[in-house]
Amino acid sequence: MRRLIPHPGLSVLLVVIWLLMANSLSFGGLLIGIVIGIALPIYTAPFWPGRPDVRYRAAIAYCALVLWDIVIANFDVARLILFRRNRDLRPCWLVVPTDLTTPEAITVLAGTISLTPGTVTADISACGRHLLVHALDAPDPAAEVARIKARYEARLKRVFL
C-alpha cells in the first residue's frame, strides 16, 4: 500500500484538480482522475524522498487564515501605492530566523510571506535557518519579524510535525 500510494494527500489533490479541470463529475472522468492520482506520485517519487507529516485540520485552518490575510494585504499595499509618497516609504530588509526543519514547511512559510502584507521573500540562507525578506514599509523591523514568527511560523509548526 505504501509503495502503491506513496503520498495519499497528493493523490487526493490530483484527483480533485483533475475533476475541477474537467468541469464535470462523470464516472469516466473520476476513473481517469484516479489513474492519474496513483501514477503521477509514483513517477515523481524521486522528487519527494521524504514524506511530510501534515495535520490536515490545522492545514485547512492555516489556509483560511492566509486567504483572509491576502485580502487584507491587498488593501494595505493598494493604500501604500496610492497614498504614500516615495520619500515617506520606509522599505527595509528583514532577516527572519526560522526553527522549521523540513523543506516543505519552509517553502510554505516563504510563500505565505510573499503573499501577505508588504513583504516578499527574497532568499534563504545556505544553512537553511534564515529567510531574507524585503518589506515595503516597516517602521519597526523587529516587530515585523516577531509578527511573522508569531502569526505564521508558530501555526506552521502545528501543521508540519
Return the SS3 of 22: helix
By CB under 8 A, tell whether 93 contacts another protein.
yes
Q: How far is the CB of 86 from another protein (least distance, A)?
A: 5
Give the residue among 55, 50, 53, 16 at the shortest CA–CA distance from 36.
16
C-beta of 58 vs 69, nearer to another protein: 69
Q: Which residue has the cell 511573522?
A: 148
* Residue nearer to another protein on the CB measure, 8 or 97: 97
Contacts of 159 (CB under 8 A, 6+ apart): 54, 55, 58, 59, 62, 105, 108
Dist. CA 72–CA 16, nearest whole Å: 28
Stretch 46-85 residues interacting with another protein (CB under 8 A): 47, 49-50, 70-71, 73-78, 80-82
Distance, C-alpha 101 to centroid of its chain: 15
> Given the complex with another protein, which of 26 and 74 has the nearer CB atom?
74
The residues in 122-151 that bind another protein, with binding defined as CB under 8 A, are 122-130, 132, 134-136
The residues that touch another protein, with contacts defined as CB under 8 A, are: 17, 20-21, 23, 47, 49-50, 70-71, 73-78, 80-82, 86, 89, 91-93, 95, 97, 100-103, 106, 110-111, 114-118, 120-130, 132, 134-136
